[in-house]
Every structure is written in structure tokens, then in C-alpha cells.
Amino acid sequence: MFRLSKRQVITLIIVGTFLLYWVRLFYIQVIDDRYQISATNNAFRYKIQYPGRGLMYDRNEKLLVYNEPIYDLMVVPMQVDSSMNWKLLSKILEISLEDCQERLKKARKFSRYAASTFEKQISKEMYGRLQEYLYSFNGFYIQSRTLRRYPQAVAAHVLGSVGETDEGELKNNGYYRSGDYIGKSGLEKFYETDLRGKKGVNVVMVDVHNRERGSYKDGKYDSVSIPGSALYTTIDLVLQEYAEELMKNKRGSIVAIEPSTGEVLAYVSSPTYDPNLLVGRVRSQNYLKLLNDPSKPLFDRAIMASYPPGSIFKLAQALVGLQEGVITPSSGFTCDQSLIGCHNHPSAMSLQDGIKMSCNPYFYAVFRRILMQGKDNNRFIDSELGLEEWEEYMHGFGFGSKLGIDIANVKSGLIPGPKYYNKRHGKQRWAFSTIYSLSIGQGEIGLIPLQMANLAAIIANRGFYFTPHLVRSIGEDRHRPNIDTVRHKVGIDSIWFLPVVRGMYGAVNEAGGTARQARMENIAVCGKTGTAENPHGEDHAVFISFAPMDNPKIAISVFVENSGFGGTWSAPIASLIIEKYLTGEVKRVDLEKRMKNAVLNRP
Amino acid sequence: MEVTSQRGLEKKWWRTIDKPLLILYVILVVMGWFNIYSAVFDPDMADTFSFTSRYGKQLLFIGLAFTIAIVIMVIDVRIIIQYTYFFYGITVALLVLVLVVGTEVSGAKAWIQIGGLSIQPAEFAKFTTALAFAKYVSSPDINMRRMFSQMKSAVWFILPVILILLQPDAGSALVYAAFLLVLYREGMTGKILAAGAFLIFLFVISLLVHQYWIISGLVAIALVVFFYGEKTFGRIVLILSALLVCSAFVFGVDYAFDRLSAHQKSRINVLLGKDADIKGTGYNVNQSKIAIGSGELFGKGYLDGTQTKFNFVPEQSTDFIFCTIGEEWGWVGTTIVLSLFLTLLLRIIMLAERQRNNFFRIYGYCTASIIFIHIFVNIGMTIGFIPVIGIPLPFFSYGGSSLWGFTLLLFVFVKMDMKRYVM
């Protein structure tokens, strides 16, 4: 065995130590980049410049949403001097000393080096007091932000709300940092990327005493914030306010559309709430309150509630029957109440009368002819073939699928087709006799109020619709939102609309019509009532309408839950809105008063 | 070999001085100054040069250090040899004096204030102890192969260790472990060195792992050693007693650790990774690692280190000066500094081995060992290998006493080397 001399052993110890250190240095300097990140957190403060969120205007450029500056107190736990005057800080912030410590602990848990919010949304007054002493609170600094404010407490469901990003949103989108705001519902959510603008950042160097030591590399890594784009909505503020007023103390919704463009003029879901409630420090508290409210004010009935449409659905059946050639405008059917229940009225001798009087047996017969066209001798197969074709037509009307409106969480409703019934009853185990209640808009079928209003728009346009939308243009350059501008044809020739429109006119304006309460001097209103059977209580009332009959300016659906017959409440409310929109003022003061004061939301 | 006259040599000092050592010394001191400048550099006062700042003072210290070096070059080496014990006596007396009249800085009475100048006697004691130890060990009537002689010689460095521990300054005391390397070179068996290393290993392990596991391990090792060797009675006794001593040591460490002050405990725990309190005790080490680690391959550039500039690392111009190199010059910089130090150490050992005079050789080894242990502890501390022990990095760290101490230590050896043919 060879022996090392003592000199060699000592040399080996020295060289060995140096080699070990050298490798270790290679590891921490070149391989492990953890320290690089820590150093950045140590000495840089990324001061985020939050841009103002885009404003929102109504169709006449009246302000709906604006921003109010607020201040957040941020803390970098590592830089906090624990011996500072906590008492003073807690006094300025109006929180307890324990709360102060608790918040610091929480911030430290999140990160020692990165900033956390210590106190959110400080008022201007508090900010003033804090500013005076801030120099003595090492590790604290103020970040300015903005909050949403609403000059009028209207259109809460349309505008939506803004809240702090949750974990899911942080994970899905790299743009957001914890504590950032994001649109949570309504237009705020749908147009988030337009509204939010672009955050800017100032990279500032900070020394160990939390003093800012100027911008890093003369601002080489800074970026300027870009303010969010404004939304020019289609909402008519005056009409919206009026509609909301009418819906007070009622459950339901109103959707009014300009038929020639698809622009939504008014959009109400009742009960509603003051959008100012879901802003700032009070947001989470109020949100919980609204969430737990049994009347569900957060639930957007206009696009999320699916109801059987009742008799308004007969309009679509009439059109399909005409297009299919199974009936003519002059087809008459006796009011045979042994087939299906009806109210007392003379038998309808034409389609126009059938609609005007909303005769159930009439549309039972129409639907029967649509489904059973004799294409097969087996009535089961015949019904299935008929329903298949019918389903196509219904999709053409925008039923049973999502309308592409620019608001989040829109539902599609339900149009049951052969697939649905085959699954439910078994193949060839159902026929017209099983599903005839579809003819009068009852049964499994479901439409959302937006689809109902769109039906009115389709009839007003005599056969087509534009996708209903809430935003006309965006930003300074007024570019159009990314919504289709296609003229959606529903697959019914325009000539077949004449008897239907006449019937709707009759329902409102002629003796024996079901919607006489919607009648107005000087304006030719067309409408159709509906009553959606409600197994849980009083029936829901619906009225769809457009006016004037020729060259329609407004199409509307008014849905009032648990209000019984459609003509009693829904029709007058719709006519008041039409009057307001077309003439600018309401002359029928008594009717208006009666509608406003009606309380229909008793549990 | 031709022997030139002494007079001739003195005239041609430039020919006889060891140029590599001289150049290494100058490079290290100059690099040190630039790093101190960066460590205390304040971007807000970049245009003013001030002699009251640390880099200004260090410039004065360097001037004085060069003067010391020149004086050593001029005076006769025989005077140094003659008065060796006297110098030793003076520093020991100063070490006693500092305990009485010393100024306390961060818990240790280590400084003597003379006018505007503070002196740290411990920094000079290394030099005088090295001289005295070398002189004693090299005296003809000492046989270093004998254990007793080794123990007697150890008294020379144990005395200052005790005095320094009384300050208390464990870091500076630890430096005297350097003399164990010299003892080893001059006769002490390597087994003691190995045993020492093994005990340190056991010490660390027993803080990390439960003692019963360690003792099980020790028993297993003992059995293996027993079966693979002669099974004589003497061997069995030796193995058993070694086992006993080790076990006692393990329990002893545990017992002692329980009785340490909370402050010392947490320092050790941080090092062992048991305690991640980076804001408390681990703050220095963590910040130091961040500074070095963020330098990456090429560093952030001179005066551009953010951790350096904004004082995130405490004591950066003194004990943590290596961070500045790491951050601003990157791995390339640390590699260069390590190579310079390694070259210096190996050169000293090479020169020591070529001395005919035992005194000179032993003194050379003392010089190399003392410098080595400083580097070992200081850099080891900044990269988190060793607990925070406040000792300077030779030639680099801010401070007059340490720079002068190292200059004396090194240049006396350089002088000896110049005279190696005549003495």
C-alpha cells in the first residue's frame, strides 16, 4: 500500500476543501436559480400600475358605470420592523391590535418577500391620515386602485359585478395576481379583456430599510398601463329604469329588443339589487346576504330561468303549420274541449281567430297535423318523423339552444325531440297522443325569457332575427364587439307571418282578444298572452309583444311569476313599456300606478 | 550550491524575494479594497470620496500594511527570531489587558481603543503564537515524535485560545485549530487528526439523529471491524473501549446541547437545516446565500449587485465580503478568488518545504494553516456549510488589525524565505 507523505495529506485536505466549495458555489450560483428569485424579491418592488377599468354607457351615452379611486395598504413582511408603532397603525386603520398581528401573520404565511394586501380599499380620509405616518411603518406602502360605482342603481344583472380573483381564475389565467379584480358576472365578465385594459409595472429598487432607491435600470423594465376600453351598450337607461320600477315587488323578467338590430333595450330580472352593494369592502358581506336571500336576487331570470312558454308558443306552431302546408290561414277547428281544456269562446274559424282567442283545441289540431303527416302508416313512426322535422323548426327560432347574447351563463332552454322521448319512453313507445301538450307550450318544453322576446322580434321582422346583444361598440375607435351580425332566417316564408301578426293584433285590439289590457290609442300593438302552468303554485304569466305593427321598433317579453293569467299583469306592463319607449311618456297614469303598486311576490 | 554573501543578497532583494507570493498578496489586497468599496457603496453619494467611509479607511489600512511589509523587508530577520518570545509575551499580555480595559463590540471584549484607533490583539496573537510555536518546536532539544513533547508544544497555542475564549470570541479561538495541522506535519500521528474528524462527524450526526440509532450503527461498525481482523484480546479491549468512548461522546453531545443557550442552539439548528427561521438566526446566512446565488455565472457587474448595494447582507464589508464577489462577479469571480487563495496556500507550503531551517519550515506551515482555516471557516459560512462564526477573510475583509496581522504573518515568512540560504 502506498503511503502519502504528511505534506501530501495536508495538501490534499486543502485542495479537497477548495474543490468542495468550488462545486458548492457552482451549484448555488449557476444551477440553483432559487436564489436569483429571492434576490429579485429582496431588492425589487414591482409596483403595479392598475389602469382604470373601462366605463359603460347606455345607448344615448349616459354613464352607467364609472370608477372611483381607492387605496390599498400593502405590506412586505420581511421588511417590517416588529418594534414599530403598531398601536398607531391600528388606530389609523380602525382595527384592533390583535387583528393587526393576525394580518401580518397571514401575509407572512403567503410570502415574506412578496407584497400582500394589509388593508383593502382605504377611504380618502383614512388615506390622508395614513400618509402622514407611513414613513414610520417600514415595509408598508400604498397602492392605488379603482372601484366600480353606479350613478343609478339599475341593470345590476346586465352590468354584472367585479370581484377579487379566486384560485381557479388565478390558475387559468396568468394575467392575474392574487388580489387583482376580475369581472364576475354580466358584461363585466363577458367583456373582461376589453374592460380591464393592461396593467403596467414600475420596477423600483428597494434597500433593506424599505426605502425606494429609484427605478431599476432607468425604467428599462417598466411598462405603462393602458386604460380599459369603454363599452357603449344598447341599454336605454330611461327604459331600463322604468321597467325595473314596474317590476318592483314582482318576480320575473323583462327583455325588450329592437327587432331591426337585435339590440337589447331593457333587460330586467326581478327581484334585482343595487349594484353598488357588490363593490369594495362591503362586497363579500353583501354578496353572502344576497346569495342567501330566498327570493334569489342574484339569479338572472332573463337568461337562466327556463319556463314552459304557455300559449305564446302557439305562434310558432301556427307558423310551422303554415310553412309545412298542413294548415292554411283560413283553416278552422272546433273548440272541442274533449281533446284539451279551453276557456269559453266561439270556435275559431281562421288561424287569425285561433290566435286572437288562444284556442287550445285549435292548436292541438295544428300540432297533430304537423306531427302526423302520414309519411308512415305506423303512428309511432309517423309521430317521430314529424317531431324530428318540428324540432328543426324550433331550433330555427332559436329555441333549445343558446342564443349568442354577449352575457355569461345564458341557458338554452329545452326543446324535446325524438331523441329525448325515445330515451324517456323507449323507441316507438310514444306518439302524438303522448306529447300533445307541447302544442300549447306546456309539458317538458322550456324557454328562457330572452328566447321569448326573440320570438316577438322574429314575428316583428316577419321571419328573421339578429342575435340579441347588449353592446354596440367598444373603445375610442368604437369597434364592434365580436358578435355575429348575421340575419338569422328562421325557415318560415314571410307571407305566413301575415295571419299570425293579424291574430296578435286581434288579441290586443279586437273584441274577444285575450290581451285587451295592452291596447293603446294611436299605437298598433301586437301581442300574445301565455300562461305557464306551475305545479308548485299560482301559474306564471307571460306576454310577448311588438309595436307598432308595421315597422316595429320594439319587441318585448314580460314574464311575471305566480301572477295567474297572462293578460292581467304581463300585458299591461308590456304596453306601458312600449308606450314609454315609443312616445317618451306614459299617459295612462292610473294603469301605471296600478302596475307599479302591485305586489305579486308574496311567498 | 553556491552561497552568495549576505550583503549582496540584501542589495538584490528584488531578485531573492518570492515574486509569486508578493504578486498574490498585492492582487488579493487590491481586489479586497474594490469589493469593500462596492459593499459600502451608496449610489446616492457615488461622486464623493471620503476617508471616513470604510473604503477610505481601508485605503489607509492598506497603506500602513504596505509600510509594515517594507519594514519587515528592511530589518534583520535575526531580530525577529531573537525577540520571538518577547513578542509572544506582549500579545499574551495584551490579551489579558483586553479582558480588563477592552471595549465590548457585539458581546465580545476584543478591542483596545488607543486614541482613534481600535486594535484587536487576537489578530496579532495568531502571528506571534505562530512564531513562538515554530521556535519552540524547532529547538534541538525537542523530539516531536514523543507525545509529551507534542503536548508541551500545544501549550503555546492553548494559552491564547483560553484568553480569547474568555472575551468570549469563539470564532477567533477556533482559528488556533490551525496549529493541529502543523503538529501533524511535525510528528503528531494522523490518527488523532482522523479521530478528530470522526468526532466532528459524530457530533453533527448526534444532533440530527436519535442517539440510539447512532449507537446501533457504532455497534454494527465495531462488529464488522472485529470479525475482519485478528481476534486477539488486546484488539477486543481496544474495540470495546473505542465503542464506549464514542457512545459516551454521543450522549455527551446530546446532554451538552440541551444545556446550550437558546441563541447557540438556534445557530446550530439553522445550520443543520432543522430550523428554517430565516428572519431570525438564519437571516445572515440566507441573505448571504441569496447574494452569492443570484450572481449566477458572470455576476451582476461591479457596483451593480442589488443585495450588495442595498445592505441586505449584514457585515458585508467584514465577515461577509465574499458575498460581494459572489454577487457582482458571479461564479467566474468566486472561481478566480478561490484559485488565488489556493495558489497562495500551495505556494507557501512549497516554500516551507524548501527551507533548510526547521524554524522557517514550521513557521511556513503555521502561516499556511492559519490562512487556510480562515478561508475554510469564512467562505464555508457564507455558503451555509459552517455556522456563522465571525472571522475575516484574509486580505479581503475590512479592518486594519486583521489586514496588518496577515501582512505580518505572511511577510515574515517571505523574509525568512529570502534568507533561506544564509540561516
The CATH number assigned to the domain holding A556 equals 3.40.710.10
Residues A329 and A182 in one domain: no
Q: Does residue A1 sit within a domain?
A: no
Helical (H) or strand (E) element with A213: strand A212-215
* Structural domain includes residue A209: no
Residues B170-193: pLDDT tens digits? 778 888 889 989 999 988 888 888
pLDDT tens string A59-104: 999 999 999 888 888 888 877 877 888 888 888 888 888 988 889 8
* CB atoms B44 and A213 under 8 Å: yes
A189 and A262 both lie in a single domain: no
Q: Is the pLDDT of residue B142 over 70?
A: yes
pLDDT in tens, B315-333: 777 888 998 899 999 999 9
The confidence score (pLDDT) of residue A567 equals: 76
pLDDT over 90 at B15, yes or no = no
Alpha carbon distance A216, A221 (integer Å)? 7
Which of A196-200, A270-274, A411-415 comes out lowest in average pLDDT? A196-200
Q: How many contacts, defined by CB atoms under 8 Å, are there between A and B? A: 115
Mean pLDDT of B296-321: 78
| Residue scoring higher pLDDT (B279 or A473) | A473
What average pLDDT does range A130-147 have in this prediction? 83
Write the pLDDT tens digit of every residue in A26-40: 998 888 877 777 776
pLDDT score of A8 more than 80 = yes
Place of cell 305579486: A600
Q: In this model, does residue A294 exceed pLDDT 70?
A: yes
Q: What percent of chain B has pLDDT over 90?
A: 34
Within-domain flag for A434: yes
Contact B338 A25 (CB under 8 A): yes
- What is the distance between the alpha carbons of residues A202 and A180, in angstroms, rounded to a whole number? 17
User: Closest-CA residue in chain B for A25?
Assistant: B331
Contact residues, chain B, for A17 at CB < 8 Å: 372, 376
CA distance B363 to chain A (A): 14
For residue B383, give the nearest of A28, A34, A208 by CB distance.
A28
Among candidate residues B165, B62, B73, the one with its CA nearest the CA of residue B110:
B165
Which one has a higher pLDDT value, A209 or B169?
B169
Chain B residues in contact with A4 by the CB 8 A cut-off are none
On whether residue A461 sits in a domain, the answer given is yes
More confident residue, B14 or A525: A525
**Residues in chain A closer than 8 A to B326 (CB atoms):** 25, 29
Of the spans A105-114, A208-217, A592-601, which averages the highest pLDDT? A592-601
Interface of A with B in 69-98 (CB under 8 A): 78
SS3 call for A569: coil
**Is the pLDDT at A497 greater than 80, yes or no?**
yes
Query: Which ranges in A67-122 belong to alpha helices (H)?
Result: 86-93, 97-110
Beta-bridge partners for A66: A149
**For position B106, what pLDDT does the model report?**
64
Q: Are residues A192 and A243 in the same domain?
A: no
pLDDT, tens digit, for every residue of A160-202?
A: 999 888 888 888 887 887 778 899 999 999 999 999 988 888 7
Chain mean pLDDT for chain A: 89
Q: For residue A24, list chain B residues with Cβ-Cβ distance below 8 A.
A: 383, 385
Is residue B363 within 8 A of residue B134, CB to CB? The reply is yes
Q: Please check whether residues A342 and A404 belong to one and the same domain.
A: yes
Asked if A110 reaches chain B (Cβ–Cβ under 8 Å), the answer is: no
Comparing CA positions, the residue from A483, A563, A10, A596 lying closest to residue A247 is: A596
- More reliable by pLDDT, B69 or A218: B69
Element (H, E) at B122: helix B121-138
Compare CB distances from B185 to A10, A209, A214 and report the shortest one's residue.
Answer: A10
Task: Please tell me whether residues A176 and A242 are part of one structural domain.
Answer: no
The reply to whether B294 touches chain A by the CB within 8 Å rule is yes
pLDDT of B268 reads: 65
* A427 and A479 inside one domain: yes
Average pLDDT over residues A137-166: 88
Asked which of A155-169, A265-279, B40-54 is least confident by mean pLDDT, the reply is B40-54
* Residues in Cβ contact with B134 at an 8 Å cutoff, skipping those fewer than 6 apart: B359, B360, B362, B363, B366
Q: Is A345 exposed, middle or buried (0-12, 13-18, 19+ CB in 10 A)?
A: middle
Tell me which chain A residue has its CA closest to the CA of residue B346: A11
Pair A358, A438 in one domain: yes
Query: Could you say which of A148, A175, A199 is where a domain stops?
Result: A199
Instruction: Report which of residues B317 and A342 the model is more confident about.
Output: A342
3-state secondary structure of A557: strand
Q: Are A197 and A227 in contact (CB under 8 A)?
A: yes
CA distance linking residue B290 with residue B311, whole number of Å: 12
pLDDT at res. A215: 72
Whether A221 and A202 have beta carbons less than 8 Å apart is answered as no
**pLDDT score of A44 more than 50:** yes
Contact assessment for residue A335 and residue A359, using Cβ atoms and an 8 Å cutoff: yes
**Has residue B276 got a pLDDT over 50?**
no
What span, in angstroms and rounded, lies between the C-alpha atoms of B150 and B186? 9
pLDDT, tens only, A506-532: 999 998 888 888 898 889 999 999 988
Asked whether residue A280 is assigned to any structural domain, the reply reads no
Q: Which residue has the higher pLDDT, B277 or B60?
A: B60
Nearest CA in chain A to B381: A21
For residue A80, what are the domain limits? 51-99+115-199
**Structure-model confidence comparison of residues A469 and A202, the more confident one:** A469
Residues of B in contact with A34 (CB under 8 A): 293
- pLDDT class for A223, splitting at 50, 70, 90? confident
- Whether B280 contacts B266, CB under 8 Å: yes
> Which of the residue ranges A357-366, A486-495, B105-114, B200-209 would you say has the lowest mean pLDDT?
B200-209
The stretch A27-54 carries a mean pLDDT of 78
A79 and A155 in a single domain? The answer is yes
Give A39 to chain B, closest Cα distance, Å: 6
B19-26 long-range contacts, Cβ below 8 Å, gap at least 24? B20/B343, B20/B347, B21/B344, B21/B347, B21/B348, B21/B351, B21/B410, B21/B414, B21/B417, B22/B414, B24/B340, B24/B343, B24/B344, B24/B347, B25/B69, B25/B344, B25/B395, B25/B407, B25/B410
Q: What is the mean pLDDT of chain B?
A: 84
B311, A39: Cβ pair inside 8 Å?
Answer: no
Average pLDDT over residues B353-379: 93
Q: Which chain A residues are closer than 8 Å to B345 by Cβ? A: 14
pLDDT value at B308 more than 60: yes
- Residue B406, number of CB atoms within 10 A of its CB: 27
Task: Reply yes or no on whether the pLDDT at B278 is more than 60.
Answer: no
For B333, the grid coordinates are 469571480
Closest approach of B381 to chain A, Cα-based (Å): 11
pLDDT reported for residue A3: 76
The verdict on A123 and A243 lying in the same domain is no
- pLDDT tops 50 at residue A340: yes
Identify whether residues A467 and A539 lie together within a single domain: yes
Residue B217 forms contact with A (CB below 8 Å) = no
Residue B279 has what pLDDT? 47
Q: Which residue has the higher pLDDT, A116 or B372?
A: B372
Assign 3-class secondary structure to B308-355.
HHCCCCCCCCCCCHHHHHHHHHHHHHHHHHHHHHHHHHHHHHHHHHCC
Q: Does position A405 have pLDDT exceeding 80, yes or no?
A: yes
Calculate mean pLDDT across residues B9-26: 83
pLDDT at A351 over 70: yes
Q: What is the rounded CA–CA span in Å between residue B377 and residue B398? A: 17
pLDDT given for residue A537 in this prediction: 81
Q: What span, in angstroms and rounded, lies between the C-alpha atoms of A65 and B386?
A: 61
**Nearest Cα to B325, choosing from B384, B255, B396, B414?**
B396
Task: Check CB contact of B307 with chain A, cutoff 8 Å.
Answer: yes
pLDDT at residue B2 greater than cutoff 50: no
Judgement on whether residues A132 and A243 belong to the same structural domain of the protein: no
The amino acid that residue A228 corresponds to is G
> Does residue A260 lie within any of the structural domains?
yes
CB atoms within 10 A of CB A462: 18
Is pLDDT above 50 for A438? Answer: yes
A550 domain residue, yes or no: yes
Of A199, A216, A249, at which residue does a domain stop?
A199
End-to-end CA distance of chain A: 100
Residue B3 has pLDDT above 70, yes or no: no
- Across the interface, of A7, A35, A213, the residue whose CB is closest to B310 is A213
CA B177 to chain centre: 9
Number of domains in chain A: 2
CATH of the domain at A85: 3.90.1310.10
The ipTM (two decimal places) reads: 0.87
Average pLDDT over residues B398-417: 93
Does the predicted TM-score (pTM) go above 0.90? no
Domain boundary among A150, A184, A199: A199
Element (H, E) at B33: helix B19-40
Q: Same structural domain for residues A180 and A251?
A: no
CA–CA dist B30, A276 (Å, integer): 67
Percent share of chain B, pLDDT over 70: 87
Tell me which of A256-270, B5-19, B74-88, B311-325 is least confident.
Answer: B5-19
pLDDT, position A573: 95
Tell me the residue type at A558: V
Kindly state the average pLDDT of the residues A207-234.
78
Please check whether residue A420 lies inside any domain of the structure: yes
